[in-house]
Structure 1
Amino acid sequence: MPILNFIMTSEEIDKEFQEAYKRASRTDQKFPPDIMLQFYAYYKQATEQEGIYTPSGEDDVRNAFKLNALLQIKGMSIKEAKKNYIDLVNRYITE
């Protein structure tokens, strides 16, 4: 999966991540479920401070898909998750 191709400091990554999150939060674009799950998993991995995040809610099927997406990136560093999230936003959000 392509990641930002240049060396960035942690501060630059954090800034780009926050800007990417703002873009993603403001978009009206609709995405297929698999892309939404990627956004979800990278964001949770990038922002969860205490290990793996466990989805909650009453929809067991939706929670199973979320958990599967999280397990696919288990072990990914916070820095890598932020870079992947930024890349995903840049690839799919055209606003």
Structure 2
Amino acid sequence: MSETDLDKRFQEAFETASQMSQADLPQDTQLRLYAYYKQGSIGQPTNLNSGFDLRNAFKTNAWMQIRNMDSDEAKRLYIELVESLQKK
């Protein structure tokens, strides 16, 4: 089965985002990227009781906020966010 155009664009956006410096991105943007990526690639969060770590708590919270979002919608939003960051 071949990848869809959305999946290819999602993977390309991930590769682009992976090259970006986290120091240059505001924390809220980093959290949105994380949540959209996780929702687009995995779907709804599960097994969230992995101990307390403040950084992971923020990441999990960002993901939980979009837990009912369709995977394809999360991919589109991820792509749009990465593209908007490239223009800056």
What fraction of aligned residue pairs are identical, expressed as a percent?
44
Alpha-carbon separation, structure 1, partners of 2:21 and 2:62:
23
Amino acid aligned to 2:11: Q
| 1:33 corresponds to | 27
Query: Which of 77, 83, 87 is the matching residue for 1:84?
Result: 77
Which one of the candidate residues 58, 61, 65 is aligned to 1:68? 61
Aligned counterpart, 2:40: 46
2:4 alignment partner AA: E
Q: TM-score, normalised by structure 2?
A: 0.80
In structure 2, stretches of 5+ residues that fail to align are none
Tell me the distance in 2 between the aligned counterparts of 1:35 and 1:59. 22
Higher helix content, 1 or 2: 2
Cα root mean square deviation, aligned:
2.3
Q: 1:60 to 1:28 in 2, by over 3 A?
A: closer
Give the superposition deviation at 1:46: 0.8
Task: State the structure with bigger RCO (CA 8 A, min sep 6), 1 or 2.
Answer: 1
Post-superposition offset of 1:55: 8.2
Identify unmatched segments of 5+ residues in structure 1. Answer: 1-9
State the 4+ residue runs in structure 1 displaced beyond 2 angstroms: 53-56
